[in-house]
Amino acid sequence: MCGHFATGVTVITSGGGENAAGATVNSFTSVSLEPALVLICLHDNSRLLPVVQESGGFVVNFLTQRQEPVAWAFAGRRTARIEEVPHHRSVHDLPVLSEALAHLECRLAAEYDGGDHTILLGEVVSLGAPAGEEDPLIFFQGAMRELGDDRVLPGR
Protein backbone atom coordinates (compact mmCIF):
# COMPACT_ATOMS: atom_id res chain seq x y z
CA MET A 1 0.00 0.00 0.00
CA CYS A 2 2.88 2.41 0.70
CA GLY A 3 3.85 2.11 -2.96
CA HIS A 4 0.89 4.38 -3.72
CA PHE A 5 2.70 7.27 -2.02
CA ALA A 6 4.98 9.17 -4.41
CA THR A 7 8.32 10.21 -2.93
CA GLY A 8 11.39 12.03 -4.07
CA VAL A 9 14.55 10.04 -4.67
CA THR A 10 17.70 10.77 -2.68
CA VAL A 11 21.16 9.32 -2.43
CA ILE A 12 22.57 9.57 1.08
CA THR A 13 26.37 9.91 1.12
CA SER A 14 28.85 9.87 3.97
CA GLY A 15 32.41 9.02 4.94
CA GLY A 16 35.84 9.80 3.64
CA GLY A 17 38.55 8.11 1.65
CA GLU A 18 38.09 4.36 1.27
CA ASN A 19 35.10 4.46 3.63
CA ALA A 20 33.03 6.88 1.51
CA ALA A 21 29.69 5.30 0.61
CA GLY A 22 26.23 6.07 -0.66
CA ALA A 23 22.76 4.52 -0.72
CA THR A 24 19.53 5.35 -2.53
CA VAL A 25 16.85 6.25 -0.01
CA ASN A 26 13.29 7.46 -0.38
CA SER A 27 12.59 7.43 3.37
CA PHE A 28 13.48 11.07 3.92
CA THR A 29 11.45 13.81 5.55
CA SER A 30 11.78 17.32 6.88
CA VAL A 31 11.14 17.33 10.64
CA SER A 32 11.65 20.91 11.84
CA LEU A 33 12.50 24.33 10.46
CA GLU A 34 13.91 25.74 13.73
CA PRO A 35 16.25 24.07 14.30
CA ALA A 36 16.53 22.65 10.78
CA LEU A 37 16.15 18.88 11.26
CA VAL A 38 15.58 16.04 8.78
CA LEU A 39 15.33 12.29 9.16
CA ILE A 40 16.31 9.32 7.06
CA CYS A 41 15.89 5.60 7.62
CA LEU A 42 18.60 3.04 6.85
CA HIS A 43 18.24 -0.74 7.07
CA ASP A 44 20.15 -2.16 10.02
CA ASN A 45 22.25 -4.23 7.57
CA SER A 46 23.00 -1.25 5.33
CA ARG A 47 26.71 -0.83 4.72
CA LEU A 48 26.11 2.95 4.91
CA LEU A 49 24.84 2.89 8.51
CA PRO A 50 28.23 2.33 10.21
CA VAL A 51 29.83 4.86 7.85
CA VAL A 52 27.33 7.54 8.97
CA GLN A 53 27.78 6.57 12.62
CA GLU A 54 31.57 6.79 12.34
CA SER A 55 31.64 10.07 10.40
CA GLY A 56 28.95 11.71 12.54
CA GLY A 57 27.16 13.13 9.52
CA PHE A 58 25.56 12.56 6.14
CA VAL A 59 24.51 14.39 2.98
CA VAL A 60 21.02 14.12 1.48
CA ASN A 61 21.37 14.49 -2.32
CA PHE A 62 18.06 15.19 -4.12
CA LEU A 63 18.25 13.61 -7.58
CA THR A 64 17.20 15.03 -10.94
CA GLN A 65 15.32 13.06 -13.59
CA ARG A 66 18.50 12.54 -15.59
CA GLN A 67 20.16 10.95 -12.53
CA GLU A 68 17.98 7.84 -12.63
CA PRO A 69 21.06 5.68 -13.45
CA VAL A 70 22.75 7.10 -10.33
CA ALA A 71 19.71 6.16 -8.24
CA TRP A 72 19.81 2.57 -9.50
CA ALA A 73 23.60 2.38 -9.10
CA PHE A 74 23.31 3.15 -5.37
CA ALA A 75 20.14 1.07 -4.81
CA GLY A 76 21.48 -2.49 -4.73
CA ARG A 77 23.39 -4.52 -2.18
CA ARG A 78 26.56 -3.92 -4.22
CA THR A 79 26.26 -0.19 -4.71
CA ALA A 80 28.32 2.14 -6.85
CA ARG A 81 31.47 3.65 -5.41
CA ILE A 82 31.52 7.38 -4.77
CA GLU A 83 34.51 7.65 -7.12
CA GLU A 84 32.28 6.42 -9.98
CA VAL A 85 30.03 9.52 -9.96
CA PRO A 86 30.81 13.23 -10.19
CA HIS A 87 31.17 14.52 -6.65
CA HIS A 88 32.99 17.01 -4.48
CA ARG A 89 33.67 17.36 -0.76
CA SER A 90 31.60 19.53 1.55
CA VAL A 91 33.03 21.99 4.05
CA HIS A 92 32.88 19.16 6.60
CA ASP A 93 34.61 16.73 4.17
CA LEU A 94 31.55 14.64 3.28
CA PRO A 95 30.88 13.55 -0.33
CA VAL A 96 28.28 15.60 -2.25
CA LEU A 97 26.94 14.47 -5.64
CA SER A 98 27.90 17.40 -7.89
CA GLU A 99 24.99 17.02 -10.34
CA ALA A 100 22.23 16.69 -7.71
CA LEU A 101 19.22 18.98 -7.81
CA ALA A 102 20.07 20.10 -4.27
CA HIS A 103 21.76 18.77 -1.16
CA LEU A 104 21.57 19.06 2.62
CA GLU A 105 24.65 18.40 4.73
CA CYS A 106 23.68 17.11 8.16
CA ARG A 107 25.30 16.49 11.52
CA LEU A 108 24.03 13.24 13.05
CA ALA A 109 21.92 14.46 15.99
CA ALA A 110 20.20 11.26 17.19
CA GLU A 111 19.43 7.63 16.35
CA TYR A 112 16.23 5.71 17.07
CA ASP A 113 15.22 2.06 16.73
CA GLY A 114 12.81 1.56 13.85
CA GLY A 115 12.29 -2.20 13.72
CA ASP A 116 14.67 -3.53 11.06
CA HIS A 117 15.74 0.07 10.28
CA THR A 118 17.57 2.78 12.18
CA ILE A 119 15.99 6.22 12.12
CA LEU A 120 18.66 8.90 11.86
CA LEU A 121 17.90 12.49 12.82
CA GLY A 122 20.18 15.05 11.19
CA GLU A 123 20.69 18.73 11.92
CA VAL A 124 21.18 20.63 8.66
CA VAL A 125 24.52 22.48 8.78
CA SER A 126 24.78 23.56 5.12
CA LEU A 127 22.86 23.28 1.87
CA GLY A 128 23.11 23.97 -1.82
CA ALA A 129 21.07 23.81 -5.04
CA PRO A 130 23.50 23.58 -7.97
CA ALA A 131 21.13 22.03 -10.54
CA GLY A 132 18.72 24.96 -10.47
CA GLU A 133 15.58 24.45 -12.54
CA GLU A 134 15.82 20.74 -13.33
CA ASP A 135 12.93 18.39 -12.58
CA PRO A 136 13.19 15.97 -9.65
CA LEU A 137 13.24 12.20 -9.90
CA ILE A 138 10.32 10.55 -8.11
CA PHE A 139 9.51 6.99 -7.03
CA PHE A 140 5.94 5.65 -7.36
CA GLN A 141 4.55 2.10 -7.41
CA GLY A 142 7.99 0.50 -7.51
CA ALA A 143 9.36 2.56 -10.40
CA MET A 144 11.40 5.70 -10.99
CA ARG A 145 9.21 8.31 -12.69
CA GLU A 146 9.06 11.83 -14.01
CA LEU A 147 6.59 14.48 -12.96
CA GLY A 148 3.84 14.08 -15.54
CA ASP A 149 2.34 17.51 -15.83
CA ASP A 150 3.39 21.12 -15.32
CA ARG A 151 -0.06 22.32 -14.20
CA VAL A 152 -0.26 23.78 -10.73
CA LEU A 153 -3.42 22.78 -8.89
CA PRO A 154 -5.33 25.70 -7.34
CA GLY A 155 -5.01 26.00 -3.58
CA ARG A 156 -7.99 26.12 -1.24
Q: How far apart are CA 147 and CA 16, in angstroms?
A: 34
**Domains of the chain: which residue ranges?**
27-142
- What pTM did the predictor assign? 0.89
Cα separation, 117 vs 30, in Å, equals 18
Task: State mean pLDDT over 7-34.
Answer: 91
88 near 20, Cβ under 8 Å?
no
Note the pLDDT tens digit of each residue in 25-63. Answer: 988 999 999 999 999 999 999 999 999 999 999 999 999
Say how far apart CA 130 and CA 124 lie, in whole Å: 17
Distances (CA, A) of 156 to 5, 6, 150, 152, 153: 22, 22, 19, 12, 10
Whether the per-residue pLDDT at 131 is higher than 70: the answer is no
Q: Are 48 and 54 in contact (CB under 8 A)?
A: no
CATH number 2.60.200.20 is the correct assignment for the domain at 27-142: no
DSSP string for residues in 39-95: EEEEETT-SHHHHHHHHTEEEEEEPBGGGHHHHHHTTSSSPPPGGGS-EEE-TTS-E
Strands 143-145 and 138-140: antiparallel
Higher pLDDT, 143 or 119: 119
Strand partners, 119: 41, 112
pLDDT at 22: 95
Please check the confidence at residue 105 and state whether its pLDDT lies above 90: yes
